[in-house]
Every structure is written in C-alpha cells, then in structure tokens.
Homo-oligomer: A and B are copies of this chain.
C-alpha cells in the first residue's frame, strides 16, 4: 500500500505523532501559536475514545495530565511561552515524582507576551532551568514535519523509558508551516509502552526503587498496588523523608537517570560534516535556513557542513565536540540572543572558534542573514 502523504501544519503533525505514540489523554489551554495542537486533539481524541480536556489555565492543564498519567495513560499538554512559564511548578512535580508526560512548548517571541504570532527560539534555557531546584530534563526539537513526527514519538518513548516529563520545543514557524508528511506505517517507528511492575498483589511494591538497569516499573493508580506520590523528597515507597542519605540518593538518581544516558537520548542529523571547515550548528526552524545555506554553498564547492541538533537537553556536548574537532569556524544559527551557542562554547575546545548567527526581530532568519555573518567571520580569520 502506498503510504499516505499529508500536507498539514507542524502543530497537526505533532498531534498525529502523539496519537501514533499511543497518547490518549490531552489537556490544554489555548495560546498562540500552539492552539492548533489543542484544537486537533479536540477533534481526534473523542474519535479514538481518548480524553480531551480544555482546562481553566495552563497550571491545571499540566496537573491534570500528570494525574491521568498515573492511572496508566500516555498524556500530553501543549502551550507557548507564557503558559510554559506558568507550568514550571508542576513540571518540577513531574520530575520529582517521575511521572511520564510530554509538554509541547511552541515557542513565540519573548520575553513576556512579546510577539505572540512570530517565531522564536527563546525558551531553550527555560526548558532546562525554568523550574526551581536541581533537576535534569529531556528536551527534543525538529526542523521538518517528518522529523517532528519522529521526535514526537520519541518524546513519548523517552518519557516512558526514563519516567520523566519531556519538553518538545517547537516554534511558531514549523508549527504553522505546511509541508508534506508521509505518515509512518504502524510499527515503522518503535513505540515504547509503559513498563509496568510484575510484582504480584500483596507483595511489597516499590514505586521508587530503580531496577538494575535504572528503570522504575510503574503500577497504575486504581490497580493492585497502593502507594504514595509526593513532590517532597521521598523514600522508595513514595513517602516523605528528611533522611539525608535518602535525599542524596534521590537527587542523584533524578540527575543520573538522564545525564548518564545522554548518549541514548542524543538525536541529530548531519550534513556534509566529513570535510567541513565551517560547521554550522542549528536546530528547529533555523536549521532549515542553515541547511539552505549549506546545500547552496556546497554546490559552489565551499566546505560547509551542518550539525542539526534534535535533542537539546541533555545537551549533546560530546557529539558537538567530536563533530567540531576539525572545524576552523563554528557558527551557531538560532533565533534568540544566543542560547545554544553558550553550550557549544562550553562543549568545544577553543571556544573562540564559535560564532553566533541569530535574528531576534520577529522575522524568520534568512540565508542572507547567515551568509552576512559568515562573511564577517571568515573575514576575521582568513
């Protein structure tokens, strides 16, 4: 059978992918430019018998999906900057209680209300550090619909694998843009189901005791194991504790289960990196512009390459270091005042090689913008 090709927005792509991944519970509060996710969920979910809730705000949206995840469902909410800020407290709760969920932040111009209908990539650091206290987080992004589909499915997979919230960082450009999407067949992208405990009824179940492989099998609320879930530091049964040893163990577990598996989480695409003198590093919508520049310059024989990062957090520092080893220049292309560029500088030897090509006036960064910076950069060194 010929595979279906859809010509839809990125926001709808995200919805299709979430359903493919097994989502059957969504709650949200509309906000530009993420509202289409909420709207398509409202249309699709009842048809498959799933639940759609429009809540009173973003706080309750995230809280309610966390509640639904506990009963064994795959869940998601979607929002944009201002709503993402409001979700920070509950995001930390999901981190602490290790409850799988996916939060899509379709970025728009910030800070504050900013530029609701214009694209931006200003929430990268917020995704990492927005909630209080130490924590680790997984955040994925993509630059085209086919990848967006895959990354959305991956977001659900990683949420289950690592029992953690995953932030899907989209942006207004890809969210609203339409381009062809070939719908993957069932099974084409692996879908990871929740790992449920095999502990039988009546036997002591430890919701917060990692197995040897680091994973923590879950038991659905309403099922045979009754346990406690709290945002306080807790022991392996989920009950509050102030025992320093347990606290030390828990915070290290929360960090390590993600940071130590960074290599499993790392997702990227590379273009012409083998012999690139100048390496562009980009992600999300601006990777489209970067790729445009790289492909057009390659045709002229210039040794340009692109590393497109799809897993922003944990930041794939080793990957970046390895791919940039032989680069004379490294140019980070992003639509903000410089966020990923700082991580790249930390990652590589000789951070002086690293430059930023950005645009922050609400307009989409153009190939010309990138080329202009490149001219400046090359002018310096060559």
Contact = CB atoms under 8 A, between A and B. Distances in A.
Q: Which of A95, A111, A232, A346 has the most chain B CB atoms inside 10 A of its CB?
A: A111
A339 B128 CA distance: 12
Contact of A132 (B84, B131, B252): B84
Given A123-B132, A248-B360, A113 B346 contact: no
Contact of A122 (B112, B132, B245): B132
Nearest to A95: B111
Nearest to A245: B361
A120 interface: yes
A233 B129 contact: no
A129 to B, nearest CB: 4
The count of identical subunits is 2
A337 interface: yes
A113 B230 CA distance: 8
Contacts of A245: 361
A88 interface: yes
Contact of A242 (B110, B115, B244): B115
Nearest to A58: B89
A252 B85 CA distance: 22
Contacts of A244: 361-363
Contacts of A346: 342, 345-346
Interface string A220-242: 00000000001111000000001
A133 interface: yes
A185 to B, nearest CB: 37
A233 B130 contact: no
A201 to B, nearest CB: 30
A81 B133 contact: yes
Contacts of A126: 129-133
A96 interface: yes
Contact of A113 (B96, B130, B242, B345): B96
A305 interface: no
Contacts of A34: none
B132 A129 contact: no
A237 to B, nearest CB: 17
Interface string A114-156: 1110101011011011111111000000000000000000000
Interface string A341-352: 010011000000
A133 B118 contact: no
Contact of A134 (B89, B122, B132): B122
A129 B125 contact: yes
What are the 7 tightest A-B residue pairs by CB atom distance, in nearest-first order? A110-B133, A81-B132, A112-B231, A111-B133, A96-B112, A244-B361, A113-B231
21 contacts: A82-B89, A84-B132, A85-B131, A85-B132, A92-B110, A92-B112, A93-B112, A96-B112, A110-B131, A110-B134, A111-B135, A112-B132, A112-B133, A115-B242, A115-B247, A122-B132, A122-B133, A126-B131, A126-B132, A244-B361, A251-B337
